[in-house]
Chains A and B, each alone.
Chain A
């Protein structure tokens, strides 16, 4: 079993990490890059597959050299065997289309064709959710999205999955596809390790990866457009049909509400508060 998980670095949008300029534009230079949070679900799906079926777990990313650290994080958290970084100047400013072409080409260049490719469900910055499906479309493989549980039948060469129809937690269907296939894990995906055997395998993987993750660069292969034999006209900025006409900052929510301070000892004040609240006692807004 060989799986590849796709991951992207995104600005760390957490409070205290992210930095905006006066106009509300993201200051990339001052904001650390972290792994796209949703990619963790994809990685967990890959790990569960490796624990249950063995084999190789690779992680691939297209982006600047700094994404190498994101790949290192992936190695540490899900015990990846190999890392692939698709990176060079010609690839810069790709839109989802160009990104997908590049990734699909990277997947084809691997010495062992992956059985499953896992993509995350939307990034924290781009948020299109296009990249996985488009890369899959390039390869003409089946894709299963919104996956919450996964089972591979290696003998039959199939993958069976439970998925949320239209992303609706109320509606769950089970689908099956031949492998190789793309799988997009829903954030609802929870890996399960209910046997001692699986947990012991996990423990082995953790122990085995400890040293490896410290020198993740040694396990990272970097390919540029020439390695991938990609025509610069079809990738990067030139290969990106998307035109961004303008960017509107999201208006700030009004920071403070009108508030009146009432001393709990102030009886008159407090009874006004109760009167004001009484109107909503039935649950109305």
Chain B
């Protein structure tokens, strides 16, 4: 009749991997190569259809695993252009001071390529399916895991929307940021905006020839540009631009608490970057946006769980907060890959010793031994932030910098070549305090003191929010919204109206809206929610009072670029 009814006897696999991003792919490929029967469950209609990155994927020299090592042919088939030049631009009004940070970027870098996630993840998924199929498992899309299967309170498997529960000896939560599994296991929470960044980006169509000409590069070359300074209304964070084969990725990554504090309309901050005179040279006259997208990004300094396991469950990648912001350089995908492979390796070893239940501890040990946790949660930051992130120090630093003395030392530092070196130093970057100083004040002063005026006329007109939503593909789960507002008061959930990347004050076509309702003759301001245009970024899981879940398998937004 219905599926073979196995009330007490569940389908069983040796390993279940939840999520087919880089973390899940690396874990599954490594498990399968070691003969572990592995099934991979991905909620998107296609791997990559839910994912957003900047993004540059790094292969670090110091890392025990890199994605092309695990999946040969990766660079040839799944990536766009390599990064051959790297610049950071400090902006104050129309004044710009640019530093070449290629050298810093190349330190510990075997290679770094720009990627688009739909292409990258779907390529990986095919390889992973082939590998895991040989073990008796395989990769399934359109399946959403919605919880942990427990037996006497012990985690023994997963429950799914589309399938009957599955038991496994090893469960890899590689389900990305806003991991429902990590939350269910009590290993991560979604409470503090300080622990997250929000990334918003546009994929801009541009023929390969035009890219080569405008950036002065060849087919096998690519550029990365970072932007910071006063163009973001004081919101802490920065912008990026990466070259793909025939498109550009342009976006911003901001601290979520800062977005909330400044009540920033994040799509307008993207437009501020797109329309800055500096970008005119690259964007030309015609602006054709292929896709608008957004996603939360954990800040490993604060969010990475130092002990990311519980029973048979391990967290890898964003699910465990393993996303490193090395100053302006963002490294999440590479760490997800490393963690995925280390977790798999830990299980293989634990199994061979007849103690599969020790996989979690072995994984944690490996994260430390291989230096991954030290990159994610550097001691330097913990020490420096204690001193650098309180109001008095910040205020002092701000006032000093803005004083004639501070400005003079900025000029002197540049003459001595110190600024360029500082930007390229991962050591300094890892100490950077999460205050306005490094993100806004310092770049602005650098640009004011040292910058040259960019006179180009930027004439492009980015699409409106309504147009951006209109261009996206959705398979709406009608009547079954995946987010429910728990508290509709403005105090509890009002922040989402501006922080949600597909909502804005005074815009009726978005997810969140502020409305006036009449109750007992009184007027009251409340927040309302319509999840139809949701891009599943995760922001309102943190900044509003919601019951937040991902949509069922295959439902919701479908990114074509990512």
Interface residues in chain A, defined as those with a beta carbon under 8 Å from any beta carbon in chain B: 52, 149-151, 160, 162, 192-200, 203-204
Contacts and interface: CB of A to CB of B under 8 A. Distances in A.
A200 B164 contact: no
A194 B3 CA distance: 6
A52 B3 CA distance: 9
B140 A196 contact: yes
B163 interface: yes
Given A149-B2, A150-B1, A160-B1, A195 B140 contact: no
A189 to B, nearest CB: 12
Interface in B83-107: none
Please provide the 9 A-B residue pairs with the shortest distance between their CB atoms, ordered closest to farther. A194-B3, A200-B138, A149-B1, A194-B164, A195-B11, A196-B39, A151-B1, A199-B140, A192-B3
Interface in B9-34: 11, 13
Given A149-B2, A162-B1, A200-B133, A194 B163 contact: yes
A195 B3 contact: yes
A162 B166 CA distance: 27
A204 B134 CA distance: 12
Contacts of A192: 2-3
Given A203-B138, A203-B140, A198 B3 contact: yes
B163 A195 contact: yes
Given A192-B2, A193-B3, A195-B4, A200 B137 contact: yes
Interface string B124-139: 0000010001000110
Nearest to A194: B3
Contacts of B140: 196, 199-200, 203
Contacts of B278: none
B270 interface: no
Contacts of A194: 2-3, 162-164
Contacts of A150: 1
Contacts of A197: 11
B446 to A, nearest CB: 54
A196 B13 contact: yes
A7 B94 CA distance: 71
Interface string B324-355: 00000000000000000000000000000000
Contacts of A204: 133
Nearest to B142: A199
Chain B CB count within 10 A is highest, among A149, A196, A197, A199, for A196
Given A160-B1, A199-B143, A200-B138, 13 more contacts: A52-B4, A193-B3, A194-B2, A194-B3, A195-B4, A195-B163, A195-B164, A196-B11, A196-B39, A196-B137, A196-B140, A196-B143, A203-B129
Contacts of B133: 200, 204
A194 B39 CA distance: 14
A158 to B, nearest CB: 13
Contact of B166 (A149, A196, A203): A196
Contacts of B163: 194-196, 199
Contacts of A200: 39, 133, 137-138, 140
B3 A196 contact: no
Contacts of B13: 196
B41 interface: yes
9 contacts: A149-B1, A193-B3, A194-B3, A196-B11, A196-B143, A199-B143, A199-B163, A200-B137, A203-B138
A160 B1 CA distance: 8
Interface of B: 1-4, 11, 13, 39, 41, 129, 133, 137-138, 140, 143, 162-164, 166
Contacts of B143: 196, 199
A150 B138 CA distance: 26
A1 to B, nearest CB: 15
A251 to B, nearest CB: 37
Contacts of B162: 194
A193 B162 CA distance: 8
A52 B41 CA distance: 20
Nearest to A52: B4
B340 to A, nearest CB: 20
Contacts of A195: 3-4, 11, 163-164
B76 to A, nearest CB: 22
Contacts of A203: 129, 138, 140
A198 B166 CA distance: 13
Nearest to A150: B1
A186 B131 CA distance: 39
A213 B11 CA distance: 32
A160 B41 CA distance: 32
Contacts of B39: 196, 200
Nearest to A195: B11
Contacts of A162: 1
Contacts of A151: 1
A206 to B, nearest CB: 12
A155 B2 CA distance: 19
Contacts of B166: 196
Contacts of B41: 196
Contacts of A149: 1-2
A77 B4 CA distance: 24
Contacts of B1: 149-151, 160, 162
Nearest to B166: A196
A52 B4 CA distance: 9
Indicate the member of A160, A162, A194 with the most B CB atoms within 10 Å: A194
A7 to B, nearest CB: 25
A195 B166 CA distance: 8
A242 to B, nearest CB: 38
A48 B163 CA distance: 15
Nearest to A161: B1
Contacts of B138: 196, 200, 203
A222 to B, nearest CB: 36
Contacts of B11: 195-197
A204 B129 CA distance: 10
Q: Name which of A52, A150, A198 has the most chain B CB atoms within 10 A of its CB.
A: A198
Contacts of A52: 4
A143 to B, nearest CB: 19
A52 B2 CA distance: 11
A204 B138 CA distance: 10
A12 B164 CA distance: 38
A203 B41 CA distance: 13
B144 to A, nearest CB: 13
Contacts of A160: 1
Nearest to B5: A194
B127 to A, nearest CB: 14
B169 to A, nearest CB: 15
A193 B138 CA distance: 15
Contacts of B164: 194-195
B135 to A, nearest CB: 11
A163 to B, nearest CB: 11
A197 B136 CA distance: 9
A192 B162 CA distance: 10
A155 to B, nearest CB: 14
A283 B516 CA distance: 32
Contacts of B4: 52, 195
A240 B405 CA distance: 106
B73 to A, nearest CB: 19
A193 B142 CA distance: 12
Contacts of B3: 192-195, 198
